[in-house]
Structure 1
Amino acid sequence: MGRITKILIAPGLYWVAIPEADLYIQCGCVEDSIKHLIRCGLITPLEKQGISWETGPNTILLSDIMLQGGHFSNLAEFPVLQMLYRQGMGIPGHPNNTGRKPLLIGNSRQIQAQLEYIYRGNYGLISMDELLEAGLSREEAELVWNLKMEFAYGKIKRTDQLLDSIILRDQEVEIRDNIYIRRDDINQFTISYMGEMVSVDLNIPVYKRYPAPYPLGFHDIKREYFGVVHSGQGDGWDINRPCMASIIVYQGKIYLVDAGPNIAYCLIALGIGINEIEGIFHTHCHDDHFAG
């Protein structure tokens, strides 16, 4: 058996593992990528010293291209949150917090975009001033800020304090421990280690699309004067259901409350065309509410 394992999970999503170097690379960050990895058994629960956590990737290779086929190619927030919190890499005192940080690899533009997006996704509003500007009273802002500090372990950290990154240009670069990566062309990469190498192509053929990790039946919703349809009641980790979202029907017109991953697939299952959408009520910018 070779030192490197490569698995095609879905178009635009690969798993590359080098166990003896403890490097597990999620190549591509398509929508609902974590759910695909769970379904394939690449994220599994573990327990040690009475503490439960999950396995999973510790490195992410980003696409060179932000959009493919009308869908976001780089949605690294939930994979990073899975590493930091569900794997325990970012939890103080956790057995899996060894000082090694999750690693992003990609071109400078995509790296910077993901760092900024993950920063806001992780913390939201980052100061008392921002909370007050959002319309909270001083008392409400202090309550929210104290709660935020509990979840942030007492400090708002810069993203580069939580994550490491490698900017990939035209030359081959070392990831670590004699593992190298190079870009061969747009979205085409070669990963090598101890004389072995694998190729990864994150391009999506024009006749394919990012697949949903769950099956949906077909339904015909009523176009009522006023009605609410729950189009999803899961979250970013639920492999059997779309992320929580709703559809408001008002005077026969369609309005979305959030647009999560695979929203087009969900709408097709409900007999709704994209051209029928009158508007979107967007609650917040997490992958599971924003990706669509």
Structure 2
Amino acid sequence: MNKIKVSTGIYWVEIPEANLFILCGCPADSVKHLIKKGLITYEDKGLGIICETGPNAILLSDIPMQKESISNLAEFPVLQMLYRQGMILPNHPNNIGIKPLLIGNENEVNAQIEYIYCGNYGLSSIDEIKMSGILENQAQEMMRLKLKFAFDKIKRTQELIETRIIGNEPVEIRNGVFIQRKDLNLFEIIYKGNRIQVDLNLAQDEEYEAPYHLGYHEITREYFSVIHTGEGDGWDINRPCMASIITFQGRIYLIDAGPNIIHSLQALGIGVNEIEGIFHTHAHDDHFNGLTALLRSDHRIKYYSTKLVRVSVMKKLAALTSMDEVLLEKYFEVHDLDIDEWNNVDGIEVK
């Protein structure tokens, strides 16, 4: 049994004899941190199949937020297990009936289950899609594509993963490995008499870290400009996820808000209170999970998207924060954009 510190608030515990590899703590970009640390690598399974290694269990923080940052963002770690490791892929050598394991207190496990479901499928029925203003034939085509990528069935998260609710008594999670909560966010992992403690609390002088260094590059506030703040994706350890900033007549707008958005803004000399609005393209985590950081603003940031995107984003955000969707929308000044039409937004034409 071995414990490795991956980054601030993130640990790796491996028990190879029990076939258990636990990601302890999953704030933003935890998968990138694992890749950077060499804990996710490539494995040749033979017959031309190369896939990733990585965790098969996640230990969630007891606390949903620390230092104004979300502590539990399990969507990408779970997707890495299901798809990049191959646990869900038909006829894949790693699809042997073992499911990703989500471990934590009941509130956080349930919140992550719903959040992962929303991230995986968005709006998951024709009726839901139609209620967002989409015509019947378009809604049917969207569902056809969703089902194709879902291997012909929309599955609840509980069908894709296993869960373990832990309390103050030892709970067996798999193959003779037990976890016990010793205190708030302090856990003990037990196997064959060996014990390892994992503390997911951030110290007073600690914050979750970005996996890349951006330096400082103060932007020129031009009359109109588009600045790319990231050209990576959820797996790229060297670059922030794809996003951009628009400056127009002294106002600043975001296009999407991925992980560590505050880190990117600070690197450009921009404060969250300067953000006029955000144009949102979709609800995948690498474009979405920085949205909670915008709630820190001293004003209601304007939120621009189609109704289809807004409904799916607010549904996912409500699951993640355990807040009501209607209440969440009040934190933003919501403006729905017309699909396939030019929309005038404060003098900017958007389609």
Q: Which runs of 5+ in 1 are unaligned?
A: none
- In 1, the alpha carbon distance for the partners of 2:188 and 2:284 equals 31
The answer for the alignment partner of 1:169 in structure 2 is 167
SS state at 1:174 partner: strand
Alignment of 1:225-264 (within 5 A): 225-264=223-262
Cα offsets for 1:86-111 (capped at 9, x unmatched): 00001121100010110000000000
Cα offsets for 1:28-80 (capped at 9, x unmatched): 00110000000011000112221121000000000000100010000000000
Aligned residues: 289
User: What is the Cα-based RMSD across aligned positions, in Å?
Assistant: 1.1
- The one-letter code matched in structure 2 to 1:140 is Q
- In 2, the alpha carbon distance for the partners of 1:267 and 1:177 equals 45
Q: Is the CA contact (8 Å cut-off) linking 2:59 and 2:104 kept in structure 1?
A: yes
- In 2, the alpha carbon distance for the partners of 1:157 and 1:261 equals 26
The answer for the alignment partner of 1:45 in structure 2 is 42
Aligned-residue offset at 1:208: 1.1
Q: Does 1:12 align with 2:9?
A: yes
1:151 alignment partner, one of 143, 149, 152: 149
Cα offsets for 1:102-123 (capped at 9, x unmatched): 0000000000000000001011
Aligned-residue offset at 1:248: 1.3
Aligned-residue offset at 1:259: 1.5
Alignment of 1:28-177 (within 5 A): 28-48=25-45, 49-177=47-175
1:193 alignment partner, one of 191, 194, 211: 191
Aligned-residue offset at 1:182: 0.1
Aligned-residue offset at 1:165: 0.2
Q: Which runs of 5+ in 2 are unaligned?
A: 291-351
- In 2, the alpha carbon distance for the partners of 1:177 and 1:126 equals 35
Aligned-residue offset at 1:24: 0.2
SS state at 2:238 partner: coil
Cα offsets for 1:181-214 (capped at 9, x unmatched): 0000000000010111100000001211111101
SS state at 1:121 partner: helix
More displaced, 277-286 or 43-52?
277-286
SS state at 1:265 partner: helix
Q: Is the CA contact (8 Å cut-off) linking 2:25 and 2:61 kept in structure 1?
A: yes
So what's the TM-score if we normalise by structure 1?
A: 0.96
Of all paired residues, the percent bearing the same amino acid is: 61
So what's the TM-score if we normalise by structure 2?
A: 0.80
- In 1, the alpha carbon distance for the partners of 2:50 and 2:136 equals 38
- In 1, the alpha carbon distance for the partners of 2:112 and 2:197 equals 24
- In 2, the alpha carbon distance for the partners of 1:125 and 1:5 equals 41
Q: Is the CA contact (8 Å cut-off) linking 2:32 and 2:236 kept in structure 1?
A: yes
SS state at 1:101 partner: coil
